[in-house]
Amino acid sequence: MCGRYALSIEQQEMLQVYLADLFLDDWRPRYNIAPTQDAPVLVQKDGELGIRTFRWGLVPFWAKDPSIGNRMINARSETVAEKPSFRAAWKHGRRCLVLADAFYEWQKPASGKGPKTPHAVRLADERPFGFAGLWESWNGEEGELRSFTILTTEPNELLRPIHNRMPVILGDREAWEAWVDPDVPSDDLEELLGPYLPEEMQAYPVSTYVNKPGNEGKECLRSV
């Protein structure tokens, strides 16, 4: 599961890193993005790459109300093509890159008792990356809501002692462009859905300050 992450770069750097053509919303660095919040995703439309803000927690187009999205923050990559909540987005190529430069996982104590220890997980060189995501459009009384989910996979050797799942990480430009290209069938991209190389990542304990979604700032990522 991926239930919290960070995107701590400025808006101008974001455009340069992801080579996006436009970004329609204001952005400030975020260190503790939580479910149901709006966050930047990279999407392609008419051959143009753009960064938009969608809500985290996918709301299927057939949902009666958007609260279902609170339970749809992650999708298992192994079953995403079959699950009713995600299969339409998968089939029709509604894929997005969820922009990030770190995420958090909570490790249970070896004894099985006591509080969990939060860990920050980043690429070894701390460069920005992206999670493989799916997005959907839902229409209600207040208009259109666009939302996304983050795909997860089996953990690599680095993450396995911390958690039994990890987000699908796409770390380079070639993977980003293939993932967001709606003309590429989703089934042709399954090779991207495995665990990221552990030797190219780092994980370290951080303060329980990050436990509260309202807490923000560099302290969330500071090693303890």
- In order, the DSSP letters of 46-86 are TTEEEEEEEEES---TT-SSGGGGGG-SEEETTTTTT-TTT
Q: For residue 24, what pLDDT is reported?
A: 64
> Which runs of E-coded beta strand occur in the chain?
5-7, 22-23, 30-33, 38-45, 48-56, 74-76, 95-100, 102-107, 117-123, 129-140, 143-153, 166-167, 169-170, 201-205
Residue-wise pLDDT for 157-166, tens only, equals 999 999 999 9
- Please name the residue that has the structure tokens 């980043």: 122
Residue-wise pLDDT for 179-207, tens only, equals 999 999 999 999 999 999 999 999 999 99
**pLDDT for 152 beyond 90:** yes
List active site positions.
Answer: 2, 105
Give dist(CA 89, CA 180) in Å, integer. Answer: 12
Instruction: Name the more confident of 112 and 178.
Output: 178
Tell how strand 5-7 and strand 102-107 pair up: antiparallel
Instruction: Name the more confident of 22 and 151.
Output: 151
What 3-state DSSP class applies to 160? Answer: coil
Residue-wise pLDDT for 78-136, tens only, equals 999 999 999 999 999 999 999 999 999 999 998 888 899 999 999 999 999 999 999 99
Q: For residue 23, what pLDDT is reported?
A: 74
The pair of structure tokens assigned to 7 is: 């995107």
Residue-wise pLDDT for 28-85, tens only, equals 999 999 999 999 999 998 888 899 999 999 999 999 999 999 999 999 999 999 999 9
6: left (phi over 0), alpha (psi -120 to 50) or beta: beta
Q: pTM for the complete prediction? A: 0.96
